[in-house]
Amino acid sequence: MQARRMKTLNKLYQHTPCYSWHVKAGARMVEFAGYLMPVSYSSLIEEHLNVRANAGLFDVSHMGEIFVEGREAKEFLQSVLVSDVDKLFPGLAIYTLFCNERGGIIDDLIVYCLKEQKYLICSNAATTEKDFSWLVKQKSRFDVELRNKSVEYAQFALQGPRAEEIFRLIANPALCAIKRFHFASGEIDDIPVIVCRTGYTGEDGFEIFLPSSSARTLWEKILSAGAEAKLMPIGLGARDTLRLEQGYLLYGQDMDEETTPFEAGIGWTVSLHKEFIGKEALKRQKEEGLKRNRVGFVMEGNEIARHDYAIVSTERKPIGRVTSGTFSPSLKKGIGMGYVPANSVKIGDEISIAIRSGFAKGRIVKMPFVIGSSSRQA
Amino acid sequence: MEFPENLLYTKEHEWLRHEDDHVVVGITDYAQDALGDIVFVELPEEGDSVVKDDAFGIIESIKAVSDIYAPISGHILEVNEALLDSPSKINEDPYHTGWMVKIKMENESELDDLLTMEEYEQFVNEERELGLDKEEEEEELDM
């Protein structure tokens, strides 16, 4: 990466606190959601496989952190989230969504119950501003305060079957012992952290929130502690292939404000037993049935399906579009997901993908495409 | 980054080795490094005609799809079939086992338009300075 190019890009984009570490490590930097982020440090495939076999450390400080605090924090969240917040208690987190009145997904999030009247929302980098203004608009009748602290907080993800082994070398046993979707606050070398057993890779692991000012110190500490266990820094490129192998959705690509949770296959987040924005539309859709839904497919040959390629039936009739597609480093094959008319295909069916001037065969499969250590553990 | 002296180069980051009436063609070390892990290639068939500067194949890394342009007009003498099953050979050894096609030249004078090693090296340095090349733009849209 040459000096002049970086100078131009630096003016346009934000940095995470570990930015200069990434550049110094020789990472290939790309723009993502307004940030200059490492896409890979060495080989994307090598990074991907290392997370599946050992462990990887991701700088995901671009993600948003919104704090919700006040007497009616719970009631407020109950009204804007599709999930039942009553199920949360201090130390537990949930994967959930904001929807609009039409039941379309505004964002997917993890919500952490810090204490009875205080919650942390972790949002997508590209949607944090949108989420925050939307929340501000909804809060009028609630006694609650909203704070967007995305710049003050850094976030790392330590993921892989050896994540706990590595984390034990730097964190106290209480932080290491937390179970899936549970979290704890504590300190690592006097750095205040919130540690959650979650991730976007399908592997066991931790997501760590910490003050941006201490980010570089902890980043280097985790990497050197994990060196013997083959820990590697991992870029956004492998983050994308890892999540895709799990069938996890990427907001803005696999779902948007025109997609409902039921269509996206994440209807399990929705609790229709309470009142929230979008409930009526979602209830109606559930009663009337879906018009389309998300499916996953594996390519038969060595072609790679990509975003926006057409999904066609065996009769060569277009039935949908690929929302995410890539080469799966674990399966050594093309995999992808997309939306098709409801009940038009079932698991095991053959489909084709229109690739350039031809068609390539694929097969509908159940997701996840690859079983990671997080489900083996559970 | 290695650019052998005995080869000719193009601004599309291909190399050519002149052997009698034909050339062996591949992509340069710079190109394979910029693309990252190569996971798919589509090449023309033996006997196909190719026209200088027209796309005659596809090369895909995990994040990007790129055309391969014919550096010279002629017809395809031989295709490196081994790449179809192991495209990563291009990353591992772009100038030897990673070769792509042999083209029988129609007009040897087209060789005069190609770059020498020194010229190509200078071109690469300028391109790196100026930044955002095609692959990277695609990547940004893709992510």
**Helix or strand run (H / E) with residue B32:** helix B29-35
Please report residues of B whose CB lies closer than 8 A to that of A45.
37, 39, 62
The answer to whether residue A307 is domain-embedded is yes
**Residues A135 and A166 grouped into a single domain:** no
Q: Determine the Cα–Cα distance for residues A291 and B63; give it in Å rounded to an integer.
A: 31
Nearest to A302 among B40, B91, B139 (CB): B40
Could you give the C-alpha distances from B84 to A116, A167, A303, B39, in angstroms and in order? 58, 42, 10, 9
* Residue A238 contacts residue A40 (beta carbons within 8 Å): yes
The answer to whether residue A256 is domain-embedded is no
* Per-residue model confidence (pLDDT) at position A226: 98
CATH number of B8-107+114-142, picked from 2.40.50.100, 2.102.10.10, 1.10.287.3510, 3.30.450.20: 2.40.50.100
User: In the structure encoding, which two tokens stand for residue A269, read together?
Assistant: 């987040």
Condensed to tens digits (0 to 9), the pLDDT of residues A236-263 reads: 999 999 999 999 999 999 999 999 999 9
Burial A250-283 (b: 16+ CB within 10 A, else e): bbeebbebebbbbbbbbbebbbeeeebbbbebbe
Residue A82 sits in which domain range?
A: 64-148
Q: With bands split at pLDDT 50, 70 and 90, how would you rate the model's confidence at B62?
A: very high
* Per-residue model confidence (pLDDT) at position A9: 62
* Per-residue model confidence (pLDDT) at position A3: 54
Q: Determine the Cα–Cα distance for residues A255 and A263; give it in Å rounded to an integer.
A: 9
Could you give the C-alpha distances from A110 to A121, A163, A177, A182, B104, in angstroms and in order? 6, 20, 20, 11, 59
> Among A148, A181, A196, where does a domain finish?
A148
Q: What CATH number does residue A241 fall under?
A: 3.30.1360.120
DSSP A40-92: ESS-HHHHHHHHHHSEEEEE-TTSEEEEEESTTHHHHHHHHBSS-GGG--TTB
Mean pLDDT of B77-84: 97
Condensed to tens digits (0 to 9), the pLDDT of residues A124-142 reads: 999 999 999 999 999 988 9
Count: domains in chain A: 3
* Per-residue model confidence (pLDDT) at position A2: 47
**Residues A45 and A108 grouped into a single domain:** no
Q: Determine the Cα–Cα distance for residues A44 and A49; give it in Å rounded to an integer.
A: 9
Mean pLDDT of B4-17: 96
User: In the structure encoding, which two tokens stand for residue A278, read together?
Assistant: 């979008």
The verdict on whether omega for the bond into residue A90 sits within 30 degrees of 0, i.e. cis, is: no
Mean pLDDT of A62-68: 98
* Per-residue model confidence (pLDDT) at position B131: 57
Kindly provide the ipTM of the predicted complex, given to two decimals.
0.85
> Among A132, A148, A164, where does a domain finish?
A148
Q: What percent of chain B is modeled with pLDDT above 70?
A: 90
The answer to whether residue A221 is domain-embedded is yes
Q: With bands split at pLDDT 50, 70 and 90, how would you rate the model's confidence at B129?
A: confident
Q: Which amino acid is at A312?
A: V
CB atoms inside a 10 Å sphere around CB B111: 14
3-class secondary-structure state, position B59: strand
> Does residue B17 carry a pLDDT above 60?
yes
**Residues A234 and A171 grouped into a single domain:** yes
> Among A94, A124, A148, where does a domain finish?
A148
Q: What CATH number does residue A133 fall under?
A: 3.30.70.1400
The answer to whether residue A274 is domain-embedded is no
Q: Determine the Cα–Cα distance for residues B108 and A370; give it in Å rounded to an integer.
A: 52
| A–B CB contacts, 8 A cutoff, strictly below | 59
> Does residue B135 carry a pLDDT above 50?
no
Q: What percent of chain A is modeled with pLDDT above 90?
A: 94
Mean pLDDT of A213-226: 98
* Per-residue model confidence (pLDDT) at position A374: 87
Q: What is the CA radius of gyration of chain A?
A: 21
For residue B136, give the chain A residue with the closest CA: A30
Condensed to tens digits (0 to 9), the pLDDT of residues B38-48 reads: 999 999 999 99
For residue A3, give the chain B residue with the closest CA: B129
* Per-residue model confidence (pLDDT) at position A7: 59
Condensed to tens digits (0 to 9), the pLDDT of residues A133-182 reads: 999 999 988 999 999 999 999 999 999 999 999 999 999 999 999 999 99
Q: At what angle do helices B117-130 and A3-12 cross, to 10 degrees?
A: 20
State whether residue A10 sits within 8 Å of chain B by CB. no
Condensed to tens digits (0 to 9), the pLDDT of residues A6-17 reads: 656 666 799 999
More confident residue, A129 or B134: A129
**Residues A104 and A218 grouped into a single domain:** no
* Contacts of B50 by beta carbon, 8 Å cutoff, 6+ apart: B44, B56, B70, B72, B73, B74, B75, B76, B103
Mean pLDDT of A60-64: 98
Mean pLDDT of A84-96: 97
For residue A45, give the chain B residue with the closest CA: B37
Please report residues of A whose CB lies closer than 8 A to that of B62.
44-45, 237, 241, 326-327, 329
Helices (H), A168-305: 173-176, 215-226, 236-245, 261-264, 279-288
**Mean pLDDT for chain B?**
90
**Residues A74 and A58 grouped into a single domain:** no
Judging by DSSP bridges, how do beta strands A350-355 and A64-69 pair with one another?
Answer: unpaired
